[in-house]
Amino acid sequence: MNSFYKTPENLTLLCSHLRSPSGPPSRESILISKRVLYLKGEKLLTYLTDRPKKWPRKFPKIEDRLSAGEVARELVKQGFLLRAVKKEKGILAVSPEKDFEESGLYVWLYEGDQTYSNLLTGVLIVGFLACVCFPIWPQMLKVWVWYLSVTLLLLIFGICVLRGVVFIVFWIIGRDFWILPNLFDESLGVAESFVPLYSFEKSSGSPMFRAVVLCLIAASIHWAISQPTEFDGMISAQKDFLDDLYSGNLLSDMSQQGKEDIDKPKMKSLDDLLQELDEVDDEEKAGESVIDHLMKEDEREEGEEVPEL
């Protein structure tokens, strides 16, 4: 192995390149309740020996996989990589083996340049403060945020419906076709959730069950066609709702004061609470007065002598 790859400073430069977007592909997983990036030893050796176009010129050439393995062992020895084993899907555990092997999995302990991470942290803090200060936002900005939120919600709902419809259509003919199959996989990162764009496999479902589902779908379509009034009414109602939503008429039946107070907490003021307490006291006093009057009437009737016949 070239002596260049034995010093910690040069290994740090090498790891900065390996952790860059042009480095070998890495995946996300969980190690000791922490999200980490890991890669296979085979892919690391292949990357070191193939030397892609963006390989830094100041790095000496690594001739073969044997030399690449020595560099990888040095990375593990000096604490840039940690060997791990797959415990279950999306979960890793520390491996008792410390030596480098092609078939092993290695977690990145070297985090690289933290500028991008610190920038994202700053954006997160600013975003949190902006959300906390939402009650003092201008009214126009509140409206645009509302429309953007509703649009994103409708977009997500539309994607879910499209995925389901396409899957059912292909499932009936014996194939499992998913658009964005990893979209709801919580063990993957944001970017990996959109890869691959689709998956197409042979279905293992029962043909009889698929036939039953096909009959139910056909019956639903027949009902929609045979009941044009109800179906058209539902479509018209949905269209009117969306028109009102995006034209600003959704709250047209509310009072102006209600529109202005729509984002205010529904809490009673101290004066209102004191007034309610006074009203309760007045009602209790009125009730006591009625009871005293009735008791006096009873005492007077009992005190009267019954006339003899």
Q: What confidence score (pLDDT) does residue 264 get?
A: 58
140 & 218 share domain: yes
Residue range 84-110, pLDDT digits in tens:
888 887 888 888 888 888 888 999 888
205 & 107 share domain: no
Alpha helices in 22-138 (DSSP H): 41-50, 65-77, 115-132
286 & 192 share domain: no
Average pLDDT, the chain: 79
Q: Is residue 207 part of a domain?
A: yes
| CA separation for the pair 144, 123 (Å, rounded) | 20
Output the domain CATH number for residue 65: 1.10.10.10
141 & 188 share domain: yes
Q: Is residue 179 part of a domain?
A: yes
Q: What confidence score (pLDDT) does residue 131 get?
A: 83
Give the Å distances, CA to CA, from 130 to 123, 126, 134, 209.
10, 6, 6, 52
Q: What does the pLDDT average to over 54-72?
A: 82
Residue range 279-306, pLDDT digits in tens:
877 777 776 666 676 676 666 666 655 4
| CA separation for the pair 100, 137 (Å, rounded) | 56
Nearest to 30 by CA among 188, 221, 218: 188
Q: Is residue 215 part of a domain?
A: yes
Q: Is residue 108 part of a domain?
A: yes
Our count of domains for the chain comes to 3
Cis bond before residue 196 (omega within 30° of 0): yes
Is the pLDDT confidence value at 186 over 70? yes
Q: Is residue 119 part of a domain?
A: no
103 & 21 share domain: yes
Domain end among 205, 226, 247: 226
| Phi–psi pair at 21, nearest 5 degrees | -55, -25
Domain residue limits at 55 = 3-113
Q: Is residue 237 part of a domain?
A: no
Q: Strand, helix or coil at 274?
A: helix
Nearest to 166 by CA among 153, 150, 177, 182: 177
Q: Is residue 181 part of a domain?
A: yes
| CA separation for the pair 184, 172 (Å, rounded) | 23
Residue range 132-145, pLDDT digits in tens:
888 888 888 887 88
Q: Is residue 249 part of a domain?
A: no
81 & 25 share domain: yes
Question: Which residue would you say has higher pLDDT here, 289 or 152?
Answer: 152
Is the pLDDT confidence value at 115 over 50? yes
Domain end among 84, 113, 142: 113
